[in-house]
Amino acid sequence: MPTILVYGDSNSHGTPPMAERGVWQRMTAAKRWPMVMQRALGAEWDVIVEALPGRTTVHPDPVEGQHKNGLPPLRAILESHAPLDLVVLMLGTNDLKMRFNLPAIDIATSVGRLIEEVRNSAAAGDIMVVCPAPVREVGCLADVFQGAETRGAGLFVHMMQEAARRGCGFVDAGAHVSVDPLDGVHLDVRAHAVLGAAMAEAVRDRHARMQKGPLA
């Protein structure tokens, strides 16, 4: 049974579009894209989700807390679920917050640091990078993500290049879905369904190709 670990933030956790900051909600498990992917792949696949709202790639958050840094807990999470056939990394949205003020290339390089951590753990056979859908500066999160549209321009190109350089699979979520205009950050139920289906296809294809031998 192939085992997949999804390592992500609120858009993998299932946080719906927000009308008001600080009001915590979560979609039912069946509506979240990782579980949509699970159903599409079939019962012979096992999907594990480790997703934390507000999680960054490698940066402690001075406002929301040190624990939002995605790097320190990654090794323990990987080894607690090992052996893994595939790790899906879908992070970078929260790095676009104004408080970090990071350019797109630095965010992609930070994902590269996560890739190194996965490889160094020897817990997973393969890695797939998912570039999040572009953020929009609208709604109740507009001030938090002020300037994100400019800073995030070209993020998918940098992430695609980073994934290719390190021999990882790659999916551009923005080619399939868009963030909801209510808050400019989160995906609605329909987007979760579309992304889950697209991810199942990408995972199935990647797995089939890996079965034939390591990819260049």
Alpha-carbon distance of 65 to 19, in angstroms, equals 23
Distances in Å between the alpha carbon of 48 and those of 82, 98, 200? 11, 31, 14
Kindly report the number of other CB atoms within 10 A of residue 38's CB atom.
23
Confidence at 213, pLDDT banded by 50, 70, 90: low
One DSSP character per residue, 43-58 reads TT-EEEEEE-TT-BSS
Stretch 76-96: mean pLDDT, rounded? 97
Residue 99 CB partners (closer than 8 Å, separation 6+): 61, 62, 63, 144
How confident is the model at residue 211, as a pLDDT? 77
Alpha-carbon distance of 90 to 25, in angstroms, equals 20
Ordered domains of the chain (ranges, CATH):
3-17+24-211 (3.40.50.1110)
pLDDT mean across residues, the chain: 96
User: For residue 14, which of 197, 193, 199, 200 has the smallest C-alpha distance?
Assistant: 193
Q: Which residues pair with 56 in a beta bridge?
A: 69
User: For residue 8, which of 66, 95, 85, 81 has the smallest C-alpha distance?
Assistant: 95
Confidence at 94, pLDDT banded by 50, 70, 90: very high
Alpha-carbon distance of 178 to 39, in angstroms, equals 22
Stretch 95-108: mean pLDDT, rounded? 98
pLDDT digits (tens, 9 = 90+) for 113-154: 999 999 999 899 999 999 999 999 999 999 999 999 999 999
Place of tokens 């572009």: 134
For residue 101, pLDDT over 60 is answered with yes
Stretch 168-182: mean pLDDT, rounded? 98
For residue 33, pLDDT over 50 is answered with yes
How confident is the model at residue 216, as a pLDDT? 43
Kindly report the number of other CB atoms within 10 A of residue 209's CB atom.
13
Alpha-carbon distance of 177 to 142, in angstroms, equals 19
Confidence at 199, pLDDT banded by 50, 70, 90: very high
Q: Which residues pair with 66 in a beta bridge?
A: none
Angle (deg, nearest 10), helices 104-121 and 74-81: 40
Stretch 67-94: mean pLDDT, rounded? 98
Q: How open is the CA angle 204-169-3, to the nearest 5 degrees?
A: 50
Give kind and range of the element (H or E) at residue 129.
strand 127-131
Above pLDDT 90, what percent of the chain? 92
Give 16 or 215, the one with higher predicted confidence: 16
Provide the 3-class DSSP secondary structure of residue 18.
coil
